[in-house]
Amino acid sequence: MYASKKYWMIAWILVLPALLIRIFTTIYPIIETFHISLFEVKLLQGIRKFVGLDNYLQLFHDSKMITSIRFTAIFVVGSMIGHIVLGIILALILNMKFRGQKALRTIVLLPWAMPMVVIAMASKWAFNNEYGLINDFIRRFAPSFNLDWLIYTNTARSAVIAVDLWKDLPFFAILVLAGLQFISSDMYEAAKIDGAGSIRSFFSITLPLISRNILMLSIFFTMWRITSFDVVYAMTSGGPGESTALIAYRVTTEAFTNLNTGYAASIAVVLFLVMAVLSGLSMSAAKRVDY
């Protein structure tokens, strides 16, 4: 009993620093953010007064915020559909046996290894009508093509989603590929003997067996998308107008540009709650999908 008590004491002493660091860097900021969200805090004007839930109520009447919520939903759904569909296709290609397969897998991963802010800044130029390589490429097939992607709402939004997809798709595909490689070739051979074609094999064997991987990946990728901000920060600054301002970008703008920290905190809290609910639902769903 004595030894056990001592053992636990030492264990706690060793764990305590990490625990304190975690409390100080994670738990405290969350509590403080919630606390600040109940105040009207405008640093520039030296205002700090308790307003209860007013910031939260303002959130749902703020047209800029509604635009942000709408675009964040479009961004997450568009990006995830792209990741899942193209990610599976890319993974299937990478799973084929051909010369240079390993080299290709490494090359494909390169965009993922680059910081998003660098990619986004380069993309700002890439989508430029005058100098951009996107239009240069298109004009090789359609010489009269003329479009400045980042000045219209829909094309700017599409460009932002495309850049996000371009960066993280290889990572998604490589993780799907890992799942593919766990599928025994015996299953495909048995299916072939039973007369199944490649499409039937894909839907009856491949897809069900990688569905858990895809679900888990989708959960994490969705969460990363919801909290994305660097792509629009560097690429569009939320423009044209406010049309590509993701929610996380709005938090940054309110907190660090406008210095309305109370309001920014309320957006952050809502974002946090959305993430918490989503992760709960996702984990619950993940438990139900197993082959």
Partner 1 sequence: MKRFWSLFLTGSLTIAVALSGCSGNGSRANETTSGTKDAGNAGKDEITLYTIQSTNPKFQDWLKEAEEKSGVKINWVAAPTDSDTRQQKVSTILSSGDNTVDILEINDEMATSFKNAGWLEPLQDTVLTDDVLNQLPQGYMKDMLTSSKGDLIGVPSYTGYLGLWVDQKKLEAAGMTSINNEEDFVKFLKATTKDGQYGYGGSWEKTYVFNEIATFVNLFGGDYFDWSNEGSRKAVKFMYDMANTWKVTPVDQIADKYEQMNQKFIDGKYASVFMWGTGTDYKQANRYGEDQIHMINMPEFAKRSIFTDSWSYVLNSASKNKDAAIKFLKYAASEDGELNGWKNFDRYPARADVAAKEEVAGDIKTIYNEIQSTNEVHGRPMLPQTMEFISEMGTLFQNYIQDKITLDDFCKKAQEAVERYK
Q: Which two tokens stand for residue 214?
A: 């895809």
| Closest to partner 1 by CB, 111 or 239 | 239
Cα gap 243→220, rounded to integer Å: 25
The reply to whether 164 sits near partner 1 by the rule CB under 8 A is no
Interface pick for partner 1 out of 130, 182, 197, 290 (rule CB under 8 A): 130
CB of 26 to partner 1, least distance (A): 15
227-266 footprint of partner 1 as x/- string (CB under 8 A): ------xx-xx-xxxx---------xx--xxxxx------
Interface pick for partner 1 out of 2, 4, 46, 195 (rule CB under 8 A): 46
Q: Which two tokens stand for residue 207?
A: 């897809």
| Residues whose CB falls within 8 Å of the CB of residue 35, separated by 6 or more in sequence, listed in order | none
Cα gap 238→175, rounded to integer Å: 31
CB of 46 to partner 1, least distance (A): 7
Interface pick for partner 1 out of 34, 56, 152, 166 (rule CB under 8 A): 152
Cis check: omega of the bond before 240, within 30 degrees of 0: yes
The reply to whether 158 sits near partner 1 by the rule CB under 8 A is no
Supply angle C-alpha 254, 255, 259, rounded to 5.
85
Q: How far is CA 14 from CA 137, 167, 223, in A?
A: 58, 40, 32
| Helical (H) or strand (E) element with 48 | strand 47-50
Cα-trace Rg, the chain: 24
Residue at 8: amino acid letter: W
187-226 footprint of partner 1 as x/- string (CB under 8 A): ----------------------------------------
What residue ranges bind partner 1 (CB under 8 A)? 10, 13-14, 17-18, 21, 43-46, 124, 128-131, 148, 150-152, 156, 233-234, 236-237, 239-242, 252-253, 256-260
